[in-house]
Copies of this chain bind each other. A is one copy, B any other.
Amino acid sequence: MYFELFSQMKKQLGQLGKWLDTAAAHAKAKPFDPNLYLNFRLAPDQLPFVRQVQIGCDAVKLAASRLSGKPAPSHPDTEQTLEELSARVRSTVEYLDTFTAKDFESAAGRVISHPRWEGKVMSGADYFLENAVPNFYFHLTTAYALLRHNGVNLGKADYLGSLSLRAP
């Protein structure tokens, strides 16, 4: 289910790209500087919008790289405009586009290390479920909440994207 979950996260990163477009249009209509979004926070000791988007992108990018062994493109977290943030999202989606199910065949058994784990490791399976997927959704939803809190007109359908519905 690795590839399927990565495909789902990729789809939702595409939705994030659309939210940024909606946010830009909202700023233009009010009007206010669209780059103001980057520093909005829900609490003074919470990371700002720009970091939520960057970390959300990296959560899925680095997970795909660690679980496949395929090098990830570098993103030095230098975005200073909403447009640059959109480009960051697109670049992450393009990297995820390069994967197939075969890339994750040995994902579960890999040994994953992380700068924050003080020398300890996790299995690929544990890392994916306990860290990568929850972290991705955390930052994605926090970015969504920040836009909603600041008046951007988004709803649950914008979060989920299209569903594979069919006739019964």
Q: With A and B bound together, what is the CA distance between A113 and B117 in angstroms?
A: 42
Q: With A and B bound together, what is the CA distance between A148 and B8 in angstroms?
A: 27
Q: Does A87 contact B (CB under 8 A)?
A: no
Chain B residues with CB under 8 A of A131? 160, 163
Q: With A and B bound together, what is the CA distance between A100 and B123 in angstroms?
A: 21
Instruction: Assess A120 versus B165: contact at CB under 8 Å? Given A43-B151, A141-B141, A160-B134.
Output: yes
Give residues 10-54 of A contacting B (CB, 8 Å): 11-12, 42-43, 46
Taking the closest CB of chain B, its distance from the CB of A46, in whole angstroms, is 6
Q: Does A129 contact B (CB under 8 A)?
A: yes
Q: Does A101 contact B (CB under 8 A)?
A: no
Q: With A and B bound together, what is the CA distance between A133 and B134 in angstroms?
A: 10
- Residue from A43, A111, A161 having most chain B Cβ neighbours under 10 A: A43
Q: Does A95 contact B (CB under 8 A)?
A: no
Q: Does A137 contact B (CB under 8 A)?
A: yes
Q: CB distance B120 to A8 under 8 Å?
A: no
Q: Does A145 contact B (CB under 8 A)?
A: yes
Q: Contact partner of A156 among B11, B138, B149, CB < 8 A?
A: B138
Listed from nearest, the 7 A-B pairs whose CB atoms lie closest are A137-B137, A141-B141, A1-B1, A120-B165, A126-B164, A42-B149, A145-B145
Interface CB pairs A-B, < 8 A, 23: A1-B1, A1-B5, A4-B125, A4-B129, A5-B133, A8-B129, A12-B134, A42-B42, A42-B145, A42-B149, A111-B168, A119-B167, A120-B165, A120-B166, A120-B167, A120-B168, A122-B165, A122-B166, A126-B164, A134-B159, A134-B160, A138-B144, A138-B156
